[in-house]
Amino acid sequence: MSETTRHGDRPGTTGRSEEDWRSILSPEEYRVLREAGTERPFTGEYWDTRTEGVYECRACGAELFRSDTKFDAHCGWPSFYAPLAEDRVRYIKDTALGMERVEVRCAACDSHMGHVFGGEGFPTPTDLRYCINSVSVRLVPAAS
């Protein structure tokens, strides 16, 4: 997991201006995806879903997580132990709120997904918890 601290650097924004994003996204999607907001726990669409499929970025459609890496962390947000591939996300050191965290963004459009935490003791292969906002992703169910 590599990390960058350049908050002003917004790679891969697909050439869209913030006005474009405002016209494409709902106000809540814009607040979370483009302004690094957070939805309230236990309120999002996917925090407790068990549907098989792929979770894609709600802003640009890039495939980011698979349901087979999703686990119940009892935190109120969808939790995954790994992204679909490391090149699908990027990491930013986040020192807001008086603590050090690692923000997770979509590598394709630089939208905020959530944060990743390590060393919490979950019985997963990576000991990581990608704590992702439901509003940041869209589940594409596996073909039946």
Centre a 10 Å sphere on the Cβ of residue 67 and count the other Cβ atoms it contains: 19
Residue 4 in this model has a pLDDT that exceeds 60: no
Task: Evaluate whether 22 touches 124 at the Cβ level (below 8 Å).
Answer: no
Q: How far apart are CA 23 and CA 30, in angstroms?
A: 9
**56 CA to centre of own chain:** 9
Close Cβ partners of 27 (under 8 Å, ≥ 6 residues apart): none
Residue 7 in this model has a pLDDT that exceeds 70: no
> Which residues are the active-site residues?
131
The predicted-structure confidence for 63-98, as pLDDT tens digits, reads as follows 999 999 999 999 999 999 999 999 999 999 988 878
What average pLDDT does range 26-53 have in this prediction? 95
Task: Evaluate whether 108 touches 60 at the Cβ level (below 8 Å).
Answer: yes
